[in-house]
Amino acid sequence: MRPITSLFFSLGLSLSTLACAGDGASADDPAGWRELASIAGGPRQEHGVVAHDGKVYVIAGAGGDGLNTGRVEIYDPRADAWSEAAPLPVALNHPNVAALNGKIYLLGGMIGDFPWTAVGDVFEYDPGTDAWTELAPMPAGTERGSAAVGAHGTTIYLAGGLRSLSQAFQDTVPGFTSYDVETGEWETLPDLPEPRDHVGGAVVGSTFYVLGGRANGQENVKDTVFAYDLSARTWSTRARMPTARGGVAAAVDGEKIYVIGGEGNPADSQGVFDDNEVYDAATDAWEVLAPMRTPRHGTGAVAIDATIYVPGGGTQQGFGLTDVTEAFEP
């Protein structure tokens, strides 16, 4: 398999962005941001991030050697320290992950040497036994990575995503499906109003939000917010994001959704955003907050005890893996 690092050069990128913690940050942190212990296993990008039992899980993605990985690492905010969990049985990037009812689920992703193709592998992780169990795969034709993910009740929702990605073509889809973790059944739901990938997903109350993202290319970034009423089973639009971005990280705290970082920034030499904006679902309004201390994309974010954690990501458009881990306290 050709390492992903070889892709850096084919895209005109540099390996100098394999940064250690704190690289590119100013001496004075933006308000609310602080640096944490770096990812112990090294740089990671295009991975999944979930929270369980007060800890942050970093799942799969592109590892520091530039290859797809199944590695799973856990950050403990109380100790500011990392530990290792059982790896996934497969190595992949752009996984769709969710934590629900005491378990962690992976529902598809992308595999292979670049260009990447989607797979429908489904796995369940039990933190109590530190073991992954393979479940029945996603229905044929719905395989994708880089979807918006949300969870409610016993159901995980996947909206949009990528079926394939190469330098010449990116196959963004509008598909919307759900998976019931108790019954193991999938359901096809009404498509997104428009295709999206590298997009933020979040559930507040009984509404699933799909925020920003892109469609068929890194530069085709979006500021849209689509909202799906889980009871009425219909889509609507909400107030647009202040900044159109793809490759964003999204985290929910109460009725607020934080949308952090991203790529496709023509005003930045690295093509990456440091933007940190919060959406209030109760008022349908956005607020601009202090920017990230290390601009990144291709990561995820979670909220634990009113603090937002953002581990790893890419420090330039395309690839530029980093092990930087930072927290934001609103």
* Domain extent listing, the chain: 5-328
d(CA 202, CA 279): 11
Name 42's Cβ contacts closer than 8 Å, sequence gap at least 6: 63, 64, 323
Q: How many CB atoms lie within 10 A of CB 328?
A: 26
Residue 4: per-residue pLDDT: 44
Residue 5: per-residue pLDDT: 40
Residue 168: per-residue pLDDT: 64
Q: Which two tokens stand for residue 77?
A: 């905010």
Q: In CATH terms, is domain 5-328 a member of 3.40.50.720?
A: no
Letter string b/e over residues 258-287, b meaning 16 or more CB atoms within 10 A of that residue's CB? bbbbbbbbeeeebbbbbbbbbbebeeeebe
Residue 113: per-residue pLDDT: 81
pTM of the model: 0.91
Name 76's Cβ contacts closer than 8 Å, sequence gap at least 6: 54, 55, 82, 83
d(CA 224, CA 235): 13
**Cis peptide leading into residue 115 (ω within 30°):** yes
Per-residue tens of pLDDT for the chain, all 330 residues: 334 443 433 333 333 333 333 444 445 678 999 999 999 999 999 999 999 999 999 999 999 777 899 999 999 999 999 999 999 999 999 999 999 999 999 999 999 887 889 999 999 999 999 999 999 999 999 999 999 999 999 999 999 999 988 766 789 999 999 999 999 999 999 999 999 999 999 999 999 999 999 999 888 999 999 999 999 999 999 999 999 999 999 999 999 999 999 999 999 999 999 999 999 999 999 999 999 999 999 999 999 999 999 999 999 998 899 999 999 999
Residue 13: per-residue pLDDT: 38
d(CA 48, CA 50): 7
Residue 27: per-residue pLDDT: 52
181 and 155 Cβ atoms separated by less than 8 Å:
yes
231 and 206 Cβ atoms separated by less than 8 Å:
yes
Q: Is the dihedral of CA 137, 141, 144, 148 positive or negative?
A: negative
196 and 222 Cβ atoms separated by less than 8 Å:
yes
Reported as type and span, the H/E element at residue 7 is helix 5-10
Residue 67: per-residue pLDDT: 87
